[in-house]
Each structure stands twice: as C-alpha cells, then as structure tokens.
Chain A
C-alpha cells in the first residue's frame, strides 16, 4: 500500500470556525470582507445553510411552463410553474455531468433538455429521459438497474410571501413565518399584500465589493441623509418626518421607514412662504414633478426599506417599488439584481409617476447610485487592514428596534445572525 496522503486543499471548516470574532456586536473584523476561505465557507453555511433566499416573484411565473433561472449564492437554481399550478424549484445542474439545465434567465418551456447529452427533466425537476438509455441494438446504454428517480436534481424548500418566492437548500430552515417574524411579515404585506405586481424593468448592477458591504449599507439608516445629497441639494427634504427602525427578533432582518405628516407640512409650507424663504437650497429641479407622489397604500409612509438576511431587499421610496437580490460572485464582486415593480391596477397617471421615480433608484438612481460605489471605497480602504475592525456603535451596542434612525442597530443585527451561522469562535474578552 502506498503511504501517499493527498494534501487537502479544500477549505477545512475548522480553520474558519477557529477564527475569533469580537464578543461585542460593535466590532466587525475587516478580514470578513477579504478572505477566500470565509467566502467559501459562506457558500456552505449561509447560502446552503438554514436561511431563506429570495428567488423571484410569483408574477414572473404567471403561466404553467414559465421558468426563472436564478441563484442562491453561487448555486444556480431553476424555479418553474408546472401545469398543476404549483411552483417548483431545483438545482439548475444536470444530474449527469453537471451542465446547466437551462440558460435563459426568464423563459417558457414544456420541459428541459440538457444540451450536453439530452437528458430531459420535467417542470418539477424529475429526470424523465436519458438519451440512448437502452443503448443501440442491445449494446451500450445504462445498466438495467439505473434508476432515473434517484438521479433528479435536488429540490428546494419553497415559501411564498405575498408573491415573493423564497427558497432554501437546507431542510432545517424554520418555517418562513417563524424565520421572518410578525413585524417583518406585516411590513411585506403592507406593500405587496393583496396586490398583483407587474415587472416594469430589470437591471443588474455589478458592485466592486464583498456582498456583505452592500447588506451593511442597506441596513445603515445613519448614512442616508449624509451620503445621498439629492434631496437636500434640491431642497426636497420633508419636514416633520416621523419614522423608525425595526430589527427582527433574531437581528437578521430589518425595516427602516419614514412617514410625512401632511398637516404639519402644509403648515410649514405656509410658514416658509410668510418668511419669503423657499428653501435652504440654491438649487431647484427644473421638473419638480419627479417627486410628485401618491399615497402608495393609503397611509403616510413614503419610505420603507426592508431587508431579509442573507440577501434580499424590498424597497418603497415614494412610489418607486423594487426588489433587490444580492448575489455574491467573488470575494470582491457582487451582482445586485433590481426588479422595478408596478401593480396591475395602477392607473396611467400612477404608472407615469413610477416611471419618473425610477430615476431615484437603480444603478443611475439619484438616491441610490452612491451605494454602488461606496462598497468599493471601503473594499479599497481596508486593503492591508485585515487585523483591524470597523466600529458600529451608533445608537448603542444592541440589535433592537428604535424610534431613531441615527443608529446602526440593524447592522449589528446582521452580524449577530451571520457570526452565529458561520460558527466563529466568539472572543470572551479583549
């Protein structure tokens, strides 16, 4: 027998688990955005772990045969609607030699045939056909005990939350209601409940940074009025805003919201007029109709940013409604998939408002374009500082809801869930 011992180059889970993470939620080590072994472990423990990942909208699978090819982390996934009306999802990887089963992002199919050797799958992901299974003239072919049923791609667990389809590759994931908690469910229902969304457009923004820097940014209500100067520059800041931050019980999900006080605003506008002050700003929009909005769901909430760990965002910025899917593509690169939404019962005027307000968001968005660059500035800034820590102390050291948005509570919540899922060794004291 040979004494040969292969060198294990694959990541050993232990090297990641042995990494020490500060006990306080206010410190985030920079290596978490930089290290290849952490990135690989995330694929396994976060994206293949007991988490729910956003896949697509139910509205994108309107008819039987409609499909969407998407991802959970780096894992390609196929989501379909079969003729029984049900939605199915399975790994987009042929059971034979691993080729993609479907390549188009969104399409319509009777079934799926892998282009490599024509193995065929039905809309539920069952392997139904193997080319030349019985060989030719009694020669070749698969062994008689080959069982197609045992060679179907792995199926996902699925959940439908007001038309948002979430999937999980892990059977231990809790029920979605428990995972999200009532407050998050209520805020999803507020925007999507009982409504039929219509896709207005899809755009992908390539971010030059680790995916977690984008999630931190989404959960960071502190930066909004500082980095994004569009509203302040043009004197469009609403007065008397009330709002707050909701952090889910486990910390992983959040809502940041603000509302206008219509009565107080009218009074303040009169006051400004009396004083012959228009606004503090020197600049005005030539077409201020950009920000003419209607009450989205009959309440006064004009902004609601909601995130679900690990990588989902539902956004209402005035009447700009969008979902964002955050997909890591490397240690320092991320795909941010935007889907802009309207609703079936929108009037023509309402659709026009949504079109105009699409300028606020996305890769060219007046209030979101900076988020495409800031993660890259951090990624470049922390090069050479893998032993250092970011500090997130704004609003204390807890990951709890608050009335003030000058807090980093939901960032702390993200890391709370993340460090537990990754199994890092938590340092008792420094």
Chain B
C-alpha cells in the first residue's frame, strides 16, 4: 500500500489532468459526496471572511458547476495548465491527511498568448478510501484578490 504522500500526489495529478485536459466531468470524482470546496483569496482567508467566488458543500454542487459550464454559461473558449508543487503533509492519520500544495495556473484564451491566471495554495483534507485519496475539503486560496475577466473552469 502506498503511503499518503504518494496517494495525494497521485490524486492531485489526476485532478489537474481532469481540468486541463479533460474530461472535466472527472473533476468532481476527486471529491467525497459531502466534500467542501471553496475558491477564495488570501486577503479574505486572512480576515476570516467566509464567502467564496465558488462555494460548494457537497459533490452535487460541483457536478452542477460542470454542467453549468458545459450547458449554460457563455464565455470565450480557453484552457488552463496547472503546475503544482509537492504536497506538504501537515497531519496524518489512518483514514487520511491534511496537506497544502502550491499551484500556478496558466491560461490560454482563444488563440491568445500564454497568461499567468492564478497562483496560490490548496488547503486540503484528504480521506483514503479503497486505496484512493479523495478530497473531503479543499480551500483554494488565491494569492491575489483579482480575477481576470471571469472564472469558469475550476482551480
């Protein structure tokens, strides 16, 4: 059985692949049914402000994000490339671990240039089920308070 560092690394590799290369439907499958997911800023996080630009307290809401971006929302086609740091394992138990991972997201819109879109860190709680690490809680803390144009693909 792999140790938790490897399980998390494996899950995160698969997570970013689902967003960057698809299929995007796989993204929600990296979470537990009762997962919490929020995208916020370092400033809001430091001040303890609870709202997110994306806020979900179950996997169904994450699936709704995906169907909305596929079926309802209108935006210029674009793609991300996530670059993740190594996960720092902060706490480890039999059933899971908490970890922090830095990320950088590059965005290419239409036939435009390669732009840095977001940097920040994932504050995570993972549970290990059937030899697989699933996200029970992910707070995406963006370093900047600014989001360019719009955020439709998740981070």
Contacts and interface: CB of A to CB of B under 8 A. Distances in A.
Interface of A: 105-106, 199-208, 227, 229-230, 232-234, 283, 285-287, 290, 335, 340, 351, 354-356, 358-359, 362-366, 369-370, 372-373, 376-377
Given A206-B149, A287-B58, A364-B150, A369 B75 contact: yes
Nearest to B51: A201
B72 A204 contact: no
A427 B5 CA distance: 71
B55 A358 contact: yes
Given A234-B72, A286-B60, A355-B55, A203 B145 contact: yes
Contact of B74 (A208, A229, A286): A229
B50 interface: yes
Contact of A201 (B40, B57, B71, B74): B40
Interface string B47-75: 10111111111101101100110011111
B144 to A, nearest CB: 8
Interface residues of B, number: 36
13 contacts: A106-B47, A202-B44, A205-B147, A230-B72, A285-B67, A286-B61, A286-B63, A287-B60, A355-B55, A364-B39, A364-B53, A373-B75, A373-B76
A354 B51 CA distance: 8
A355 B72 contact: no
Given A359-B55, A364-B53, A366-B68, A203 B147 contact: yes
Contact of B61 (A207, A227, A287): A287
A206 B148 contact: yes
B150 A202 contact: no
Given A201-B50, A202-B44, A370 B73 contact: yes
B151 interface: yes
Contact of B150 (A354, A355, A373, A377): A373
A4 to B, nearest CB: 45
Interface string B79-108: 000000000000000000000000000000
A364 B64 contact: no
Given A105-B43, A370-B74, 16 more contacts: A201-B52, A202-B41, A205-B147, A206-B148, A206-B149, A230-B68, A232-B72, A234-B72, A283-B72, A287-B60, A287-B61, A287-B64, A359-B61, A365-B53, A366-B73, A370-B75
A230 B53 contact: no
B37 to A, nearest CB: 11
A260 B43 CA distance: 37
A234 B56 CA distance: 18
A243 B153 CA distance: 33
Nearest to B75: A373
Residue of A203, A232, A335, A355 ringed by the most chain B CB atoms within 10 A:
A203
A423 B148 CA distance: 33
Contact of A363 (B57, B58, B74, B151): B151
B64 A285 contact: yes
A290 B49 contact: no
A402 to B, nearest CB: 27
From DSSP, what is the main secondary structure of chain A's interface residues?
mixed
Contacts of B43: 105, 202
A286 B56 CA distance: 12
Nearest to B76: A373
B41 A203 contact: yes
Contacts of A358: 51-53, 55
Contacts of A376: 149
A183 to B, nearest CB: 30
Which 5 A-B pairs give the minimum distances between C-beta atoms? A201-B51, A286-B60, A233-B72, A287-B60, A200-B51
A213 to B, nearest CB: 13
Contact of A200 (B41, B49, B58): B49
A207 B147 CA distance: 9
Contacts of B146: 204-206, 335
Nearest to A355: B55
Contacts of A290: 61, 64
Contacts of A372: 149-150
A341 to B, nearest CB: 9
A200 B75 contact: no
Nearest to A375: B149
Nearest to B146: A204
A377 B74 CA distance: 12
A227 B146 CA distance: 24
Nearest to A209: B149
Contacts of A208: 148-149
A229 B147 contact: no
A335 B76 CA distance: 20
A199 B49 contact: yes
B7 interface: no
B50 A369 contact: no
A351 B145 CA distance: 23
B152 interface: yes
A329 to B, nearest CB: 11
Contact of B50 (A200, A206, A363, A366): A200
A90 to B, nearest CB: 24
A205 B149 contact: yes
B145 A202 contact: yes
